[in-house]
A and B are shown apart, each in its own frame.
Chain A
């Protein structure tokens, strides 16, 4: 028996030694590489955090991180599909992507991802496995993408202007009818806007089971009928009569601060704090979620199959999963994005992040279906 145990433990030790040898090799390879990180650039807080991470990567690992600010990661997916079709299987122009949901599914289906690589990352051990880190909008990740943070769709209001914000979407509509021209949502296909539609649909259909399954052409019109009816009513009393919409979360926060609208929307439950620290919102603002819960998801980091700097990308992702990086990311005065690590490893305000009741995301195919239909009905 003891011999079995010794055999097993030597085997395990040698495997982990081998693994750490492999990691040493990756670290060596990564030295001097430049990693082009395609990530949404619509928030200054996030851009500054990525800058900070880049400086540390350079100092500690000699990896240069270049943040390519995209408006929608779908642009990068399109570029990768084009490269795949042109047969460019190495030396690609993208090394790392910030991704989830529909975009992940599209990349996975088109075989655009490198990996699996997550298990080989030394900092994987800190990840909180109780979080749904291996499923992305109900699509298994299979180690092809590493979790980075948690997103929860919440609303921000100014306590001084609006003390009693609507707690459900039906209250949302009543509020708009009572006070016209004070509420809106970002224009789809921007992902905050589409997520607003998804949350709204979930409430209106009482979380219909078909939302978790791939969208069905026939039942789509049936299931979404209450959504369009609601929106038709809402637009007549929405900000600017539903003819114009904020372009995304950042504009909605600015409009809230300027007093143009009463509710802003964001995927970062701690966005209020970093916005206050940055001077974008008044001290009297706070975030809240609808009573049904906040649409929640995990956002991930992945590496394209043809990336030029795969070693550098893995080192970068590993660093971003480190307690140091995650603590600073969760720091409410910096970014405030909730961490994916177990809270015992975190320090500072990241430890006490605001968490709301979670509502799971629908199947990714609903995303584009909703966007198309919205554009058709209201896009002109």
Chain B
């Protein structure tokens, strides 16, 4: 009775807005924007998009950077899985996975820039070790990794950041595939472990990785904040280009920006279709390779993962040192003068930004969590529920393509409740993550426990609060932490709907990274990285504290571990 009404509310808050979003941007692309006085429909927007010099380079950059980074990340994930699954090293991977995931993209990009910019610590180390001087370059030498014209830096960074995510998504899949049994059977057929993984596990794993790959592709395609920090600038990637068009003061050019957003959306759909077709081709169509024999090499997954952890680990002390550096000139390896004035100056400003970011994040994550729990409970009781792919739409559509339409809608409503709209936009984009991270735990919960509780005469609410919730509490807290960190990392929704009045740690970090004061940028990057880690730790502690029956097992860190009941004595 209440549940269906609440489910309807969820649909209204979290799914329906996609429609005015896409409609708004679609209409605007054809020239129809009444709030600013444009009412003639035509294809001008699209012609302007394709007439802009450099647009083909921009789109090409976007296409190949997305495809290369996504599939490279996929391949490296496979490498890591193949060489480390179920080995001792896997425990290390599990422990470090959470912190790796918790680090936000923007903070990672800033750290990456500190490491690899032409005068970053990497270049300074090279200078001292090999005498390589970037200032001796010739005219034709282009920047290599940061803001380089071929987007190589962007590709590398996106690859590095997607690997932990794909690893996390792979874990339940591999568990489901019962890889140990497959290995045993194949071994009896003469296949080594490496060969088994190549021939037998890869096809199955790849099919099941379909959705995470879509999410990775959609993200890489439409990312703006990271591309602003380390992506190419002349021309930028297509998403950044469309964002710049949206900010053009000449309002008559808005149709061009909307048309660009529509083109971005079409590109996203095409790439997802391409990914699907590629998978179908590899697994279904050209399948003879799967039965062609015992071919397969052992891959250096362990080294790669260690490299990733070391790289990420290096960024943190580097950023800390930068925040205290009064004077740190190239090619010194350490600052020549230290000072804490930057911390002092920024402290009051950071405090207000932090409190703003935190309050938005906590409110939005809590709202999204409650909605997700309601949605899951509804799903258990009723036949008709929204399919997963509909719920995941905010994850798959480029944010730019929806946000403009939503902004136009708020213009119609003519409100000044900026905080409300920003919070609502955050809930809209957070909801799929929270919902999907609760999916595994909800499915693996033994509903017999609820039935028993009811049969013992306790009311449904009592049973839910005293039986189901305590058991699922670690997963619920983890999902909450995920919601908080996704909210903290939001860039475009805060900027577009906040009318510039809402500044969060992420918007400030991106804005400041263009100010080229590396000290202040470092301070904001540190806070941006610290906050999600803090929340994940809180979530883990709270989850543990309540579930004291669990041994302090590292597996408790993962959100989709099913509830295992292993009797120790029989």
A-B complex is real = yes
Pick the residue among A74, A85, A91, A251 that contacts B249 (CB under 8 A).
A74
Contact A77 B142 (CB under 8 A): no
A interface bracket (residues with beta carbon within 8 Å of B): 35 or more
Residues in chain B near residue A260, CB distance under 8 A: 118-119, 134-135
What is the CB-to-nearest-CB distance from B468 to chain A, in angstroms, rounded to a whole number? 45
B9 within 8 A of A: no
Given A81-B36, A240-B143, A380-B54: A75 and B249 within 8 A (CB)?
yes
Q: Which residues of A contact B119 (CB under 8 A)?
A: 258-260
In chain A, positions 365-380 with a C-beta closer than 8 Å to chain B are 375-376, 379-380
- Is the C-beta of A236 less than 8 angstroms from some C-beta in chain B? yes
Residue A11, interface by CB 8 Å:
no
Whether B234 lies near A241 (C-beta < 8 A) is no
Q: Are A238 and B139 closer than 8 Å at their CB atoms?
A: yes
Interface flags for A203-247 (1: CB within 8 Å of B; 0: not) read: 000000000000000000000000000000000111111011101
Whether the Cβ atoms of B251 and A244 lie closer than 8 Å is no
A253 close to B (CB within 8 Å):
yes
Q: Is A243's CB under 8 angstroms from B247's CB?
A: no
- Point out the residues of chain B lying under 8 angstroms from A238, CB to CB: 139
Interface residues on B, range: 35 or more
> Min CB distance, B242 to chain A, in Å?
15
> Which A-chain residue is minimally distant from B135 (CB atoms)?
A259
Interface centre among A47, A103, A106 (most CB of B within 10 A): A47
Contact segment of A37-45, A314-322, A336-344: A37-45
Partner-binding segment picked from A24-32, A62-70, A134-142: A62-70
Q: A379-B53, A379-B234 are in contact. Are A279 and B414 (CB under 8 A)?
A: no
B243 to chain A, nearest CB (A): 11
Q: Which of B104-144 touch A at CB < 8 Å?
A: 118-119, 134-135, 137-143
- Chain B positions 291-349 with a Cβ under 8 Å from a chain A Cβ: 325-330, 337, 339, 345, 348-349
From 244 to 263 in chain A, residues with beta carbon under 8 angstroms from any chain B beta carbon are 244-245, 247-248, 250-251, 253-254, 257-260
CB distance from B42 to the nearest CB of A (A): 19
Q: Which residues of B contact A253 (CB under 8 A)?
A: 516
As a 0/1 sequence over residues 202 to 244 of chain B, the CB contacts with chain A under 8 angstroms (1 = contact) are 0000000000000000000000000000000111000000000
- B515 contacts chain A at the CB level, 8 A cutoff: yes
A79 touches B500 (CB 8 A): yes
Cβ–Cβ contact A81 & B517, under 8 A: no
Contact B500 A181 (CB under 8 A): no
A251 CA to B113 CA in the complex, in Å?
14
Check if B515 sits within 8 Å of A250, measured CB to CB: yes
Q: Please indicate the chain B residues that have their CB under 8 angstroms from the CB of A41 in the complex.
A: 511-512, 515
Within 8 A of B (CB), among A65-93: 66, 68-72, 74-79, 81-82, 85-88, 91, 93
CB pair A279–B134 under 8 Å, yes or no, is: no
Q: Cβ of A43 and Cβ of B234 under 8 Å apart?
A: no
A-chain residues with CB within 8 Å of residue B345 when the two chains form the complex: 48, 51
| Binary A-proximity of B249-269 (CB < 8 A = 1, otherwise 0) | 111000000000000000000
How far is it, in angstroms, between the C-alpha of A51 and the C-alpha of B345 when the chains are bound? 9
Q: Find chain A residues with CB under 8 A from B519 CB.
A: 279
| Chain B neighbourhood of A86, CB < 8 A | 35-36, 411, 414
Contact assessment for B514 and A71 in the assembled complex, using a CB-CB cutoff below 8 Å? yes
Other-chain residue from A38, A71, A239, A279 in contact with B325 (beta carbon distance below 8 A): A279
Q: Does A380 contact B53, Cβ atoms closer than 8 Å?
A: yes
A157 within 8 A of B: no
Contacts of A267 in B (CB 8 A): none
Q: Which residue of B lies closest to A239 (CB)?
A: B139
Q: A94 — nearest CB in chain B belongs to which residue?
A: B500
Interface centre among B326, B328, B501 (most CB of A within 10 A): B501
Q: B326 near A279 (CB under 8 angstroms)? A: yes
Cβ–Cβ contact A379 & B139, under 8 A: no
- Distance A136 CA – B348 CA, assembled complex (angstroms): 35
Contact string against B for A residues 6-49, beta-carbon threshold 8 Å, 1 for contact and 0 otherwise: 00000000000000000000000000000010100111100110
Find residues 328-364 in chain A having any chain B CB closer than 8 Å to their own CB.
none
Q: Are the CB atoms of A243 and B416 closer together than 8 Å?
A: no
- Which A88-136 residues sit within 8 Å CB-CB of chain B? 88, 91, 93-94, 103, 106
CB within 8 A of B511: which of A69, A82, A103, A187?
A69
Q: Roughly how many angstroms separate A91 CA and B417 CA in the complex, as a whole number?
A: 11
A282 within 8 A of B: yes
Whether A85 and B36, one on each chain, are in contact in the complex, defined by CB atoms closer than 8 angstroms, is yes
Tell me if B446 is interfacial: C-beta within 8 Å of chain A.
Answer: no
B149 in the interface, Cβ–Cβ < 8 Å? yes
B234–A78 touching, CB < 8 Å: no
Cα-based distance from A167 to B57 in the complex (angstroms)? 38
Contact of B516 among A66, A251, A380 (CB under 8 A): A251
Q: Give the docked Cα–Cα distance between A66 and B508 (Å).
A: 13
Chain B residues numbered 137-166 whose CB sits less than 8 Å from any CB in chain A? 137-143, 147, 149
Residues of A within 8 A of B137 (CB): 181
Q: Is B187 in the interface zone, CB < 8 Å from A?
A: no
Please judge, given known A-B contacts A244-B142, A253-B516, A279-B325, whether A79 and B234 are in contact too, CB under 8 Å: no
B547 contacts the other chain (CB 8 A): no
Q: Which residue of B lies closest to A380 (CB)?
A: B54
B477 sits at the interface (CB 8 A):
no
* Residues A36 and B515 in contact in the complex (CB < 8 Å), given A81-B36, A247-B233, A380-B235: no
Q: Which of B503-528 contact A (CB under 8 A)?
A: 503, 508, 511-512, 514-520
A75 contacts which chain B residues (CB < 8 A)?
247, 249, 500
Report whether B247 and A254 are in contact in the complex, using a CB–CB cutoff of 8 Å.
no
Which of B235, B250, B418, B500 is close to A38, meaning CB atoms less than 8 Å apart?
Answer: B500
Say yes or no: A243 contacts B251, CB within 8 Å: no
Question: For B518, what are the chain A residues with a Cβ–Cβ distance below 8 Å?
Answer: 254
Which partner residue on chain B sits nearest A69 by CB separation? B511
Which one of B247, B330, B500, B514 contacts A259 once the chains associate, using CB atoms below 8 Å? B330
When distances are taken between beta carbons in the complex, the residues of chain B under 8 Å from A69 are 503, 508, 511
A82 to B407, alpha carbons, bound, how many Å? 11
Cross-chain contact A240 with B141 (CB below 8 angstroms): yes
Tell me how far the C-beta of B148 lies from the nearest C-beta in chain A, rounded to whole angstroms: 8
| Binary contact readout A277-318 vs B (1 if CB under 8 angstroms, 0 otherwise) | 011101000000000000000000000000000000000000
Give A38 to B250 CA distance when docked, in angstroms. 18
Is A180 among interface residues, defined by CB-CB distance under 8 A? Answer: yes
B330 touches A180 (CB 8 A): no
Q: Beyond A85-B37, A181-B139, is A70–B500 a contact (Cβ under 8 Å)?
A: yes
Task: State in angstroms the CA–CA spacing of A180 and B140 once bound together.
Answer: 10
Instruction: Confirm or deny: B180 has a beta carbon within 8 angstroms of a beta carbon on chain A.
Output: no
Give chain B nearest CB distance to A54 CB in angstroms: 10
Residues of B within 8 A of A36 (CB): 500-501
Does A82 contact B35, Cβ atoms closer than 8 Å? yes
Q: How far is the CB of B83 from chain A (nearest CB, A)?
A: 39
| C-alpha spacing A260/B138, complex, angstroms | 11
- Establish whether residues B501 and A68, one from each chain, have CB atoms under 8 Å apart when the complex forms: yes
State whether the Cβ of B377 lies closer than 8 Å to any Cβ in chain A: no
User: Given the known A-B contacts A78-B248, A86-B36, A280-B517, are A243 and B149 also in contact in the complex, defined by CB atoms under 8 Å?
Assistant: yes
* Also in contact, A250 and B139, with CB within 8 A (given A78-B249, A82-B36): no
In angstroms, how far is the closest chain A Cβ from the Cβ of B184? 56
Counting from the closest, the 10 A-B pairs by CB-CB distance are A380-B54, A74-B249, A250-B516, A258-B119, A279-B327, A78-B249, A279-B326, A44-B517, A93-B499, A85-B36
Given contacts A66-B501, A244-B233, 7 further A-B contacts (CB under 8 A): A36-B501, A44-B517, A82-B251, A82-B411, A94-B500, A258-B135, A282-B329
Q: What are 5 contact pairs spanning A and B, CB under 8 A?
A: A78-B248, A93-B501, A248-B514, A251-B516, A380-B53
